[in-house]
Amino acid sequence: MNTVKKPLTPNLPRQRRRDVVENDAFASFARRIIRAHGRRVATGDVEALRDLIALSAVIDDAIGEAVIGLRAFGYSWAEIGSRLNITRQAAQQRWGGDKP
């Protein structure tokens, strides 16, 4: 007897990359949250100070991930550097390692 097993997960169509994003609104929202966290610490929540400092490491990691993604998407070090008002060499030294 020949039986075919059904997959454990259904075959769902892959989602396409969204071309339209609200980057400005999203970044503004993130800034408001971080500033609110800072104000909370400033009102005496000393225990949250460590968490606030840890956010800078998370942001640095996110920037690195974004740059790696942009490079994989085809952007040059010069294009990335120009958006950050730094040279392509500075961008490559900070986040790169591959050849320009």
Least confident piece of the model among 32-41, 71-80, 90-99: 90-99
DSSP letters along 28-46, please?
HHHHHHHHHHHHHHHTT-G
Q: What are the pLDDT digits (tens) for 16-47?
A: 455 556 788 889 999 999 999 999 999 999 99
Give the whole-angstrom CA distance, residue 6 versus residue 22: 39
This prediction's pTM: 0.66
Which residue has 């085809």 as its token pair?
74
Task: Decide which of 16 and 50 is more confident.
Answer: 50
Q: Are 58 and 37 in contact (CB under 8 A)?
A: no
Q: Are 81 and 90 in contact (CB under 8 A)?
A: yes
Structural domain spans, the chain: 24-95
